[in-house]
Amino acid sequence: MNTTQEQLAPVLAEGGAELTRLLDCTEARLAEVARGHGPALARHAEGTLAAGGKRLRPLLVFLCGGGERALPAAAAVELLHMATLVHDDVLDRAELRRGRPTVFADGGRPAATATGDLLFSRAFAELASTGSADAVGALSRASSALARGELLQRADAWSEQVTPERYRERCELKTASLFEAACRLGAIFGAQPATAETLGCFGERIGLAFQMLDDVLDVSGPTERTGKPRGADLLDGTVTLPLILARRSDHELRLLDLRASAATQRDAEALCERIAVTGALEDARREALTHVHEAKAALGRLDLPARRRRALELVADGVVERYA
């Protein structure tokens, strides 16, 4: 059992045998999609699949009400997530992801771009097979949001002007939107459309917290936990909440040109230290916890079966514990 599975063990225990079976079926379906569309996709997608991941988004589909009928939706949200990872790795020229060579490293830029496009397409093909245009609508809204978030992030690179509001908007687009869609899809296929709005809100809040805590971890380290060098965001010009908040109390940081001041790994680490002493990491963590709190409060507005409610609360707590 790896760390990820350990973290999810309490959730799986609440979900019972049926949840584990549905997640196994999702895994089998993802492998089928990877194999079923030509040898090039098979090679590239199987590597991406084998690299694993928490399958947090399919898990949310099932915990939000989706049963057997929601299997294509669970596969679709993970395929869309994989597609964005493959494209992100091309843009970041990332050679490794979770300790394995990326599609970019293995097949080069053209193959990785086309592989991402193919995974995108298969996500929509999976959902279309359910016959639910509502579901396709929810996924295409999330998919558009992810791409807009990416555009926003690239537009904001190195900028001194990024406000906390703008940063939150970016997190909503590039991360929270897919968590939200996963929860909505669960409600749609669970034939409880009345819960879609509230469960969508739950997903959006934990997605927001997830991204914020990820950004805190990039500054706080340690690298043994993150698997990447400290300050990687600063090095590629991505302005996140810790820096934005630190700039408010540290005047010199406010005037600092990020491009010049985080040019090397050593510079980036020094900048991380400087951000840390302002207390900005605690402030950012506190905001993330507020979002987790709001997510759980949203659950309180629904009449959910006790075990499903408990499992969803555990997922929300898991987002925090991952970074505790």
Residues that bind a second copy (CB under 8 A): 37-38, 40-41, 84, 87, 90-91, 107-111, 113-118, 120-122, 124-125, 127-133, 136-137, 139-141, 143-144, 146-148, 150-152, 154-155
Q: What angle do CA 174, 175, 181 make, to 5 degrees?
A: 105
The least distance separating a second copy from the CB of residue 45, rounded to whole angstroms, comes to 11
Q: What type of residue sits at position 64?
A: C
Nearer to a second copy, 72 or 318 (CB): 72
Nearer to a second copy, 179 or 202 (CB): 179
SS3 1: coil
Nearer to a second copy, 41 or 235 (CB): 41
The least distance separating a second copy from the CB of residue 159, rounded to whole angstroms, comes to 13
Nearer to a second copy, 20 or 144 (CB): 144
Segment holding 96, helix H or strand E: strand 96-97
Checking phi first, is residue 302 left (phi over 0); if not, alpha (psi -120 to 50) or beta?
A: beta
The least distance separating a second copy from the CB of residue 209, rounded to whole angstroms, comes to 24
Nearer to a second copy, 110 or 305 (CB): 110
The least distance separating a second copy from the CB of residue 88, rounded to whole angstroms, comes to 9
Mind giving me the DSSP string for 49-92? HHT----HHHHHHHHTT--GGGHHHHHHHHHHHHHHHHHHHHHT
The least distance separating a second copy from the CB of residue 214, rounded to whole angstroms, comes to 19
Nearer to a second copy, 22 or 111 (CB): 111
Nearer to a second copy, 2 or 163 (CB): 163
Q: Which two tokens stand for residue 253?
A: 């940081």
Q: What type of residue sits at position 74?
A: A
Helices (H), the chain: 3-35, 39-50, 56-63, 71-91, 103-128, 133-155, 164-171, 177-189, 196-220, 223-226, 232-235, 241-249, 251-255, 258-261, 265-277, 280-300, 306-321
Task: Mention every residue, 6+ apart, whose C-beta is less than 8 A from residue 249.
Answer: 278, 279, 280
The least distance separating a second copy from the CB of residue 28, rounded to whole angstroms, comes to 20
Q: Which two tokens stand for residue 252?
A: 């010199």
The least distance separating a second copy from the CB of residue 130, rounded to whole angstroms, comes to 7
